[in-house]
Structure 1
Amino acid sequence: MHRGVRLKVTKNGENSYALTDWYIENLHGQTFWVFDLECTGGNVEAARVMQFGAVRVERGRPVPGSEFTRLVNPGQPIRPFIAELTGITDEQVKDAASLPEVFAEFTQRGAGCVWAAHSAFEFDLPMLLAECRRHGLPFPDVPVMDNRALHTYLHPDRAGVFGTAYQLAHFGIEVGTRQRHDALGDALLAADIFCANLKLCRERGVHHIQVGDEALTVQYGHLPEAAPTLEWTLPTPISRSGS
């Protein structure tokens, strides 16, 4: 049985949040859907998703051939700075599918998985929740993992912002040919980092994630465009089927 879909994230400082009610059972027996989003900005209320990227992870490693990437028509202009950063232009997305179409395929491909992202709790999940509200879409009843939070969970006495660059260096992971600020490229890197954290869990005998009322404090990098509040709760269930 999955637990972990009632987690709560509350901003408790300029660069940190408090995470409660986070439970993942049978950590090493799960299949994970590790994903990344590219968006038109950093404010989850104003920005829109313009690319999804994801890959499955089973038995502690990415599954070859499971990669997923789709462009999305965000319905708003892509600013030059974002286009330069991501390589995604208005021309590329003008005929792309809508968010509801791509999200349906994304959730179908990740069915039965625990979702995971590098900064899921501070950005990716709030962004997807905001998009679902805007489009009147139900959000799947899924547990979620986060690389920053997981690394913090494993290192309770170590302070720091455990971002992508830090964890790549910490685990000795090479970027190689994977493109940064591309949703699939970043999802593949996030998957390698996630697998390294899973290996550390196994080595330490950690088989379940259990964060209850005693909050886990997670530090994150300041996002100039981030929404002014970082507080949300993912209830259970919120799918139309109630499953």
Structure 2
Amino acid sequence: MKITFLPGTYTVDELNVTPLQDRTYCIFDLEGTGIDVAVESVTQFGAVRYKRSEGASATSFSSLVRSSKPIPAAVEKLTGITNQAMSQAPLFKEVYERFCSFIGNQVLVTHAGYEYDLPMLERHCQEFGLTMFTNHVLDTKAMFTYIHPEVPDVISTDFLIAYYDLNTEGIHRHDALADCGIIARIFECVLKEYEERGLDHFIADSSKHIKRFVIPEMYLKKEYKGVTE
């Protein structure tokens, strides 16, 4: 798979997942010290197996990761992951190897992973001398954009929750494993739309541009910058 980043958008090429409907997937999500993949550190992995006919499995993977830098106070509040918890968390290498064992060779599913989770993992693997997994990866953001070119919005998790009218009350958002459950519900809705359109494949098309997320205001505040710079 090839991801090409452009100002405000990105494109995907060299990815063909067939079939879509009758397959067991592994949905995953990361949390980190911030949103800039070039400098931030992973703080949590979450993953859960999923099949459309069965929904999200009880079989899951979740672990904190000892970050290489302090977590800004605003991010601590957002994720609930504290710097104190980091002091007892396992190192990235250990967690990543266990994560790779959990996902096996299954097709992965994420949201905004093409612009956050995958680049974060690639950079970490380079830094720690690890081999990046080669699993195919589907991104609900790209999948939705492909079938809804008329939608001008940036396709965020909140946008899709509202679009599909999903009730997320009581769910601990920005916890990696809990977010996997939300991604699973979004993915279910996307797969249903693909089925209704007679589509049982996702073929990357470099002529289709996906809008990149906008950095939230909280990450631009002085307090955050003072920790990350």
User: Fold conserved (TM > 0.5)?
Assistant: yes
For residues 60-86 of structure 1, give each alpha carbon's deviation from its aligned partner in whole angstroms, at most 9, with x where no partner exists.
553331222111111321121211111
2:39 maps to 46
**Mapping for residues 82-231 of structure 1, pairs under 5 Å:** 82-212=75-205, 214-223=206-215
Change (3 A) 1:60 1:118: farther
Flag structure 2 segments of 5+ consecutive residues without an equivalent: 221-229
For residues 138-174 of structure 1, give each alpha carbon's deviation from its aligned partner in whole angstroms, at most 9, with x where no partner exists.
1122100001100011113332211111111111111
Q: CA RMSD in A?
A: 1.7
Is contact 1:60-1:195 (8 Å) kept? no
2:19 maps to 26
Aligned letter for 1:223? I
For residues 75-121 of structure 1, give each alpha carbon's deviation from its aligned partner in whole angstroms, at most 9, with x where no partner exists.
32112121111111111121111111111111111113111111111
1:80 maps to 73
Is contact 1:33-1:115 (8 Å) kept? yes
Is contact 1:178-1:188 (8 Å) kept? no
1:12 has 2:9 as partner: no
Q: 1:57 aligns with which of 50, 62, 65?
A: 50
Structure 1 counterpart SS, 2:168: coil
**Percent identity at matched positions?**
33
Moved more, 157-166 or 38-47: 157-166
Flag structure 1 segments of 5+ consecutive residues without an equivalent: 1-6, 227-243
2:29 maps to 36
Structure 1 distance, partners of 2:204, 2:127, is: 30
Is contact 1:73-1:95 (8 Å) kept? yes
Structure 2 counterpart SS, 1:53: strand
* Normalised TM-score (structure 2): 0.89
Q: Tell me which stretches of 4 or more aligned residues in structure 1 moved more than 6 Å.
A: none
Is contact 2:50-2:57 (8 Å) kept? no
- For these two proteins, the number of residue pairs brought into alignment is 218
Is contact 2:111-2:141 (8 Å) kept? yes
For residues 185-206 of structure 1, give each alpha carbon's deviation from its aligned partner in whole angstroms, at most 9, with x where no partner exists.
1111111101110111112111
Structure 2 distance, partners of 1:93, 1:118, is: 25
Structure 2 distance, partners of 1:209, 1:60, is: 19
Aligned letter for 2:64? L
